[in-house]
Structure 1
Amino acid sequence: MRTLLRGARWVRWYMRELTDESAYDRYVAHLRAHDPAAEVPSRRDFERERTDARDGDPRQGFRCC
């Protein structure tokens, strides 16, 4: 049972890293480490800013539309 649980945790971690779902968690940890008093944006605002930055910079990858 322990092996199965450990495997499930690894799969969850791997999928979060693969899809970059953990980017917000890393950003919040970075923000707290460098400025604990800083206001943390909501996940929705973080994703919106990240998407806008990616769409605004042509060097960030291929965009067909």
Structure 2
Amino acid sequence: MTVTVTAAVAVRRWAGGVRWYLRELTGEAEYDRYCGRHRRHHPLAPVPTRREYEVLRTRHREAHPQGRCC
């Protein structure tokens, strides 16, 4: 019984690590961090949707091309 529980915990931990890695890799976690920061600094303002966030991020990157070759 203990071995089964330990294996289940290990699999769950491994799956959580894979999920974290994929969220960081795809940028999904970045949007979540942005939403948290936005809520802390602007509690009364509505949080931008994912699409609005991507547009804002793209505009910012185009206006501030630091360290990019193209």
Q: Output the CA distance in 2 between the equivalents of 1:22 and 1:14.
A: 10
TM-score, with structure 1 as normaliser:
0.78
Unmatched segments (≥5 aa) in structure 2: 1-7
TM-score, with structure 2 as normaliser:
0.74
Q: Between the two proteins, what is the percent identity of the paired residues? A: 44
Equivalent position amino acid for 1:61 in 2: R
Bigger CA radius of gyration: 2
User: Number of residue pairs matched?
Assistant: 63
RMSD: 1.6
- Show CA shifts across 1:34-55 (max 9, x none): 2211111111010111012112
| Pairing 1:24–2:35 present | no
Write out the 4+ residue segments of structure 1 that deviate beyond 6 Å after TM superposition.
Answer: none
Q: Residue 5 of structure 1 aligns with which residue? A: 12
Equivalent position amino acid for 2:24 in 1: E
1:53 to 49, 57, 60: 60
In structure 2, relative to structure 1, the CA distance for the partners of 1:60 and 1:46 (3 Å cut) is farther
Q: Output the CA distance in 2 between the equivalents of 1:43 and 1:4.
A: 31
Higher helix share: 2
Q: Output the CA distance in 2 between the equivalents of 1:60 and 1:45.
A: 24
2:45 to 10, 15, 38: 38
| Pairing 1:62–2:69 present | yes
